Structure 1
Amino acid sequence: MPEVENLSRAVLDNRHPLLPIATEIEPRLTQLPGVRAVIFDVYGTLVVSGSGDVGSADESEPTDQIGDAMAAIGEPRPSAKAGVLESKLREIIKQTNQSRLNEQCPKPEVDIVAIWRVLLNEIGLTDLANNTKKVVRLAAEFESRANPTWPMPFAIELLEQIGRSDLALGIVSNAQEFTLSLVADLQDATNVEKDLGRIGFDLNLCHFSNRYRQSKPGPRMFDALSDGLKRLSIHPNETIYVGNDMLNDIYAATQAGLRTAWFVGDARSCRPRSDDPRCQDLQADIVTTDLMQLLSCLAIS
């Protein structure tokens, strides 16, 4: 494991192996001639996500994950009953997103560190709220418990093989600050900003929702991706986007003119979205149950 020198390394330190759960969806593979760029989602695609996506903890039963996270950073456990603060955190996120919803921002994204500051101030922990380093650590400790992750089988090998080809490589993902540590870990990198380029990613093609304060399936990140592709003289139709969510990934990428690969290799994060009218008649160019299937479709050996 790399020496990730940041305050978010709890998402790595607290991990344990997670195997994907097979779906009943059959692969649908075909050759994809003319592809010059491959863009990936992170959660549910490059990494197994215990809850299915960033910031989407299981709400089925009360837990004291916030108390555990507080203890992990050396702070006293809050006196609230298990589950109360977790519910309050979700409500702050919901209200913050609703307050920013408009035509220019159809799918807002929060800055999770700012959200934690609001929560800590509301429960009277003002000094902690003003300690940025501890708030970042707290957010990462909580995320590592609410949404445990592990590299998706063959993700590392897939990125290595694409990185050795002449294809451009990028990421468009709903994300928070700690997501970058997961990406860096896939290729044993020590600093994601410096090493994404070293391991084959084009930084002009890497876009994370927390930096735009807008998330998928909104168009903001894909607009930025299109600008990056244009600088490389790559047409959207020469680009394939790989993701697990028919709405956030396949629909959004299709709207941007990209070709698409729906990854259905893990039941936790496989999102058909069959009840959404935007997805009912939507088909990806290929459907993969194993990340390495993408290589044969791209004729990479």
Structure 2
Amino acid sequence: MNRAQLLKRIRDLTHPLSPISINHPQKLQPLQDIQCVAFDFYGTMFISAVGDIGIDEDQQSKSADYFTASLKDCGLTILHEQAGDRGQTLFKDTITAHISSAQTDGVDHPEPDVRTVWFEVLQKMQKEQLIAGSVTQGLALRFGIEFEFRINDIWPVPDLKKLLKNLLDDGLQLGIISNSQFYTPIAFEAFLGVSPAEFGFNPDLLVWSYQTGLKKPSEEFYKVFDRAANKEGLQPEQILYVGNDIRKDIRPAKNLGMRTALYVGDQRSIRHETRELDESDFQPDLIIRDLHQILQCLDS
């Protein structure tokens, strides 16, 4: 499939989602000299049906069916009724092997590129005579999209485009620090019509885990962004990082000196108990229920 077809396929597989509000305490205050706003992707800019990238327990019962449907929509022939279940097992085993290999090489929080993993899984399924058809790297990419957007529906938070445009109009640089896969920036384009760089994000401040081989909460992963920001003339304290997870987003960003905003506007993406915010490592500068509150705090 070409890129236009992939974008259409993502739109076809997804459905509108709205935030599930929760009465969480807020923390709003003026922040001075912020020159850049960087965002987490899943659970922050984009509502996720499971609250993050990946599969949650509620999805497990359906995932074998999603797996089988994805195989069929990629044009593969199912040769065994247990293909979906076996495929999931092969995926877990294969990605675990990739992670273990990277950890042996000293990587603390590895992020394998799922395109490589899916290609290996489909080859193994073909060898075990579970499926028939032409297994190529391009087909593995297509399968990754078919399965991911069945298992994890996503949708932009309300008025995301307007918020981002307002930040750009105010002269702020925009960045992303995200646990992600190849389909994450494609999803941005599917919903907002252009890639992040074309929208106005600084292309040097787009840090995707699948490209670095690292993922949150690795401090080295955040240092990739920190080094890029430094080359852009940005000091850590001039960066506001917005995320939904106190351990994966707030703490590592704080440790590098960034200002932080915890997004609590969707119950699905909240990863903490309110009492945990009393711990110094987890205390953000802002706690917001709506991303547009960022503008209020930066304009104060």
Counterparts in 2 of 1:103 and 1:283: CA distance versus 1, 3 Å? farther
Amino acid of the structure 2 residue aligned with 1:254: K
Amino acid of the structure 2 residue aligned with 1:158: L
Number of equivalent positions: 293
Counterparts in 2 of 1:210 and 1:6: CA distance versus 1, 3 Å? farther
TM-score (norm 2): 0.88
* d(CA) in 2 for partners of 1:135, 1:273: 39
Contact 1:62 1:82 in 2 (8 A): no
Secondary structure of the 1:172 match is strand
Match of 1:28 in 2: 27
Match of 1:114 in 2: 116
Counterparts in 2 of 1:91 and 1:43: CA distance versus 1, 3 Å? same
What whole-Å deviation, never above 9, does each CA across 1:67-109 have from its counterpart, x for those lacking one?
0101111222353165443244233323321331258421100
Contact 1:105 1:218 in 2 (8 A): no
* d(CA) in 1 for partners of 2:122, 2:94: 11
Amino acid of the structure 2 residue aligned with 1:154: D
**After the TM superposition, which of the residue ranges 283-292 and 24-33 deviates more from structure 2?**
24-33
Match of 1:49 in 2: 48
Contact 2:20 2:265 in 1 (8 A): yes
Secondary structure of the 1:261 match is strand
What whole-Å deviation, never above 9, does each CA across 1:253-281 have from its counterpart, x for those lacking one?
1122111000011111111278999x675
Contact 1:120 1:129 in 2 (8 A): no
- Show structure 1 runs of 5+ residues with no match: none
What whole-Å deviation, never above 9, does each CA across 1:163-190 have from its counterpart, x for those lacking one?
212111110101101101122244321x
**After the TM superposition, which of the residue ranges 139-148 and 74-83 deviates more from structure 2?**
74-83
**After the TM superposition, which of the residue ranges 103-112 and 244-253 deviates more from structure 2?**
103-112
Contact 1:69 1:141 in 2 (8 A): yes
Counterparts in 2 of 1:98 and 1:9: CA distance versus 1, 3 Å? farther
Once the 2 structures are TM-superposed, how far is the Cα of residue 53 of structure 1 from its aligned partner?
A: 1.5
Amino acid of the structure 2 residue aligned with 1:92: T
Counterparts in 2 of 1:81 and 1:204: CA distance versus 1, 3 Å? closer
What whole-Å deviation, never above 9, does each CA across 1:174-214 have from its counterpart, x for those lacking one?
1101101122244321xx2xxx3332211111110000111
Which has the larger share of helix? 2
Aligned ranges for residues 1-301 of structure 1 at < 5 Å?
4-5=3-4, 7=6, 9-58=8-57, 61-63=60-62, 64-77=65-78, 78-80=80-82, 83-101=85-103, 104-124=106-126, 130-189=135-194, 192=195, 196-272=196-272, 281-299=281-299
Q: Percent identical across equivalent pairs? A: 28
What whole-Å deviation, never above 9, does each CA across 1:15-56 have from its counterpart, x for those lacking one?
111111122312211111111100001100111111121223
* d(CA) in 2 for partners of 1:128, 1:254: 49
TM-score (norm 1): 0.88
Counterparts in 2 of 1:140 and 1:247: CA distance versus 1, 3 Å? same
Once the 2 structures are TM-superposed, how far is the Cα of residue 60 of structure 1 from its aligned partner?
A: 5.5
Secondary structure of the 1:23 match is coil
Contact 2:119 2:136 in 1 (8 A): no
Contact 1:38 1:170 in 2 (8 A): yes
What do you get for the CA RMSD once the two structures are aligned?
Answer: 2.7
Counterparts in 2 of 1:128 and 1:263: CA distance versus 1, 3 Å? farther
Counterparts in 2 of 1:273 and 1:114: CA distance versus 1, 3 Å? farther
Counterparts in 2 of 1:81 and 1:225: CA distance versus 1, 3 Å? closer
Counterparts in 2 of 1:230 and 1:150: CA distance versus 1, 3 Å? same
